[in-house]
Amino acid sequence: MSDRGITSYAAYIPRLRMARASIAAAHAWAMPGLKAAGKGERAFCSWDEDAITMSVDAVRACLRTARANPVTALSFASTTAPFADLQNASLIAAASGLSHDIGSLDAGGSLRCATSALIRALESSASGDTVVVAADKRHARPASAQEMQYGAGAVAVRTGAGEVIARYLGSASAISQFVDHFRSEGQKYDYAWEERWVRDEAYLKIVPGVVARLLQTSGINAADISYFCLPSTISGVAPAVARKLGIRADAVVDNLAARCGDTGAAHPLMMLGLALEAAKPGERILVVGFGAGCDALLFEATTAITSHQSGMSVSRTLARGLTDTSYTRMLSFSGEIELDWGMRAELDTKTSMTQFYRASDQIISFIGGKCGACDTVQFPRMAACVRCGSVAPLAPVPLADESARVATFTADWLAYYPAPPLHMGLVQFDNGARTLMEMVEVVPETFEVGLQLRMVFRIKDRDSLRHHHRYFWKATPAG
C-alpha cells in the first residue's frame, strides 16, 4: 500500500453568484424554455479574476496547513489558462510564496487534466510535496445551456508522503475518441454534443469500465465506496453510473450544480474536497475525471483527517457567496458585452517587461522591505528608508499574509473602472507598513475605517492591444 496521499486541500469560488432565474428572465423573450433550468445560482468571476487569480487564492489557503516537507513542484490544470505561451504555473507559484527552486507544469487539453495531473503527482518518487491546483473560468454563449450550467472556481491539493489525510490506493485511466464537447484554438465557446448521447454512450459505458478495473486491481468492492465523485451536471448521470457499478446511492457526492455550477477542470477536485470534509477514517473516496477518456482515483481517509482543518473548505467558500441579479454585469465582467466607458477608458496599459522582471518580487510576491536602522516596514521598497533616510539595503518582508486594516478610503465614480466605483485607500498593516491600495468586493453598508482586510492577487489591468494581463495585489474585507 502506498504511503503517499493528500496532505491538505483548499478551494476558492468567486464571491459573485448569479441567480439562474435572472439569466432565464433576460432571455425569456427569445428562449422561454430556459426558465425550466432557472433554479439555484452559478458562480461567476469579477472582471479582475481568472484561472490564475483563483488558483493563487486556493494555493495560499492550501499551504496554511503546517507541514515539514518542502513543496518541490506545482502543477496547474485548466482549460481556460490566461496564457497560451507563457507558463501560468510559475506565476501562480511565485504569487503563492513558493520557492523559485521548484518544478512547475501547465496541464490542459481536456476537463480531466486535473485528475491526470493529480495521478502524476501521487505516483511521483520525489521526496518533496507537490501542489496540484485546478481552475477554470469557462465562457458560454449567452442564452445557451452552458451559460446556465457553467460556474467558476479553483481547488488546490497538496500531495506527499508520511502523515496524510487521505491515502492513495491507486488509479486507472483510459483514452477514448468520444467527443462530448470541444473548443478549437482561438475560439471562445465550447461546442457541446447532445446530452442524452453523452450520458448513454460515455458516462454509462466508458466510466464504469475504468472504475471496475480500478476496483478489481485494488481489491475493493463497489459497495465499500463511501464517497463517489463524478463531475457531471447532466441530470441523473452520477446516480445512474453508481447503480451500474453497485455503489450505494447515498455515496454519490453533491455535484454542486445548484450552488456554484460546473467549475470545469477543477470540478473533480471540488467534489473531492467536499468528500474530504465529511470523510471519517477508513472511508473510501472514488474520484472520476472525464474528457477524451477517463481517470479514476481511489483514496482512503486516515486518522489524521479527524484533526485536519482546511485553509478554505469547499463549504466555507460556498457560504461566502453574494447573490447578484444584474445579468448585464456578469456579461460585462466576462467580456460578452463591451460598454462605452467614454474617453477616460482610452488608455494604453502596456507592461514594461523589463521593469516587471526587476520588481517581480514586489509585484507578484508582494515583498516589502524593513529598514535595519529604524525597523520601519515599507512598500514599495525605495532606495532609502522613508522614515530615517538610511540607504542600507532593506530586509525582505512578505506582506501577502500580514493582517491589515482600512486606514482611509474613498469611492471614485469619475475614473475609468470596470466595476465602478473605484475604491482606493490607505491600508495599515499590523507590522507597521502602510500603502495605498485598490479595494475590492466592497459592501458599502459595512465598509468602514478599521475594518480588517486580507490581500488578494488580482488582475490590475488588461492590455487589449497586446493581450497581456498585468497582475497585482488588492485588499478585500477579511472573512
343-379 confidence digits (pLDDT tens): 888 888 888 889 889 999 999 999 999 999 999 999 9
CA distance 401 to 429: 10
Structure confidence at residue 346 (pLDDT) = 85
> Measured over all CA atoms, what is the biggest interatomic distance in the chain, rounded to whole angstroms?
73
User: What is the enclosing helix (H) or strand (E) of 273?
Assistant: helix 267-278
239-278: buried (b, 16+ CB within 10 Å) or exposed (e) per residue? ebbbebbebeeebbbebbbebbbbbbbbbbbbbbbbbbbe
Nearest one of 340, 319, 318, 336 to 327, comparing CA atoms: 336
- Would you write out the chain's pLDDT as a tens digit for each of its 479 residues? 468 999 999 999 999 999 999 999 999 999 998 998 889 999 999 999 999 999 999 999 999 987 878 999 999 999 999 999 999 999 999 999 999 999 999 999 999 999 999 999 999 877 789 999 999 999 999 999 999 999 999 999 999 998 999 999 999 999 999 999 999 998 999 999 999 999 999 999 999 999 999 999 999 999 999 999 999 988 899 999 999 999 999 999 999 999 999 999 999 999 999 999 999 999 999 999 999 999 999 999 999 999 999 999 999 999 999 999 899 999 999 999 999 998 888 888 888 889 889 999 999 999 999 999 999 999 999 889 999 999 999 999 999 999 999 999 999 999 999 999 999 999 999 999 999 999 999 999 999 999 999 999 999 998 888 888 899 999 999 97
Whether this prediction's pTM lies above 0.75 is answered by yes
Do 171 and 286 form a contact (C-beta atoms < 8 A)? Answer: no
> For position 2, what pLDDT does the model report?
63
pLDDT number for residue 65: 83
Segment 263-284, tens digit of pLDDT: 999 999 999 999 999 999 999 9
Phi, psi of 397 (to 5 degrees): -135, 110
* Cα torsion angle, 111, 114, 117, 122, sign: negative
- Residues 6+ away with beta carbon under 8 Å from 179: 193, 292
Determine the Cα–Cα distance for residues 44 and 453; give it in Å rounded to an integer: 22
* Angstrom distances, CA of residue 110 to CA of 115, 169, 293, 294, 435: 10, 24, 9, 10, 42
Beta bridge partners of 377: 370
* Strand ranges across the sheet with 16-19: 41-43, 16-19, 322-324
CATH 3.40.50.2000 fits 4-334, yes or no: no
Instruction: For residues 310 and 12, give the distance between their C-alpha atoms in angstroms, rounded to a whole number.
Output: 12
CB 72 within 8 A of CB 161: no
- What contacts 205, CB < 8 A, 6 or more positions away? none
Domain borders along the chain are 4-334, 343-477
Q: Amino acid identity, residue 55?
A: S
